[in-house]
């Protein structure tokens, strides 16, 4: 069985296939609402094109988040998934979100996929992500100092035991980064 998806995620496959869509800017490009990076009040939709996913396979994407403000900000990442075919593949897919590999230094790669764990669990209708877009400090929110950047690594996998019911299934996921200034928003 294969699976397809676009970050708004894209995965497509052969054999038994499910179509996935997820959205991120081009891999490695900074998420930004204006020149220089993301700013307070910005919401950015991400795209991560993916190939086919068969049971037991995973696909990875990488997104740089850069603070283009003159002060620190906090941000969160949320997802919203729709299964237009009602096969429920979004509830079978597993997601792991980490920061870039610590040993990769300034290159901020996701090759080893061993950075700080931010989320591990189901993709679901709106389960995957970290932090909360509500104003103020929420559990899981990330803080970026003025001019700071960090890389988010996302891995999406089809469990090895996924059955034939998901053959040809499709889901579309939109990932959103929401940011606010830290000052004045306790």
For residue 87, the model assigns a pLDDT of 86
For residue 17, the model assigns a pLDDT of 33
- Contact status, residue 136 vs residue 185, Cβ threshold 8 Å: yes
Domain residue extents for the chain: 4-181
pLDDT string in tens for the chain (186-residue length): 222 233 333 222 222 233 444 444 333 344 544 445 666 666 666 655 554 577 888 888 888 888 888 889 899 999 888 888 888 888 999 999 999 999 999 999 999 999 999 999 999 988 899 999 888 888 999 999 998 999 999 999 989 998 888 877 878 888 888 888 887 766
Reduced DSSP (H G I as helix, E B as strand, rest coil) percent helix, strand, coil of the chain, to 5: 5, 45, 50
For residue 186, the model assigns a pLDDT of 63
For residue 1, the model assigns a pLDDT of 27
77: Cβ contacts below 8 Å, ≥ 6 apart? 97, 118, 129, 130, 131, 152, 175, 176, 177
For residue 83, the model assigns a pLDDT of 85
For residue 52, the model assigns a pLDDT of 59
- Contact status, residue 48 vs residue 24, Cβ threshold 8 Å: yes
Q: Are β-strands 4-6 and 170-181 bridged in parallel, bridged antiparallel, or unpaired?
A: parallel
For residue 150, the model assigns a pLDDT of 93
């Amino acid at each position: 069985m294969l699976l397809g998806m676009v970050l708004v995620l894209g995965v497509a496959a052969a054999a038994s296939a499910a179509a996935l869509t997820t959205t991120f800017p081009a891999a490695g490009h900074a998420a930004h609402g204006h020149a220089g990076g993301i700013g307070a009040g910005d919401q950015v939709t991400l795209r991560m094109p993916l190939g086919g996913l068969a049971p037991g396979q995973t696909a990875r994407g990488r997104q740089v988040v850069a603070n283009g403000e003159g002060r620190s900000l906090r941000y969160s990442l949320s997802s919203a998934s729709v299964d237009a075919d009602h096969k429920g593949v979004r509830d079978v897919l597993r997601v792991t979100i980490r920061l870039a590999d610590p040993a990769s230094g300034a290159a901020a790669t996701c090759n080893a996929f061993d950075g700080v764990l931010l989320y591990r669990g189901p993709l679901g209708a709106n389960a995957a992500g970290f932090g909360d877009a509500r104003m103020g400090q929420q559990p899981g929110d990330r803080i970026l100092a003025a001019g700071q950047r960090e890389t988010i690594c996302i891995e999406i996998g089809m469990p090895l035991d996924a059955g034939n019911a998901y053959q040809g299934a499709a889901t579309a996921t939109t990932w959103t980064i929401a940011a606010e200034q830290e000052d004045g928003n306790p």
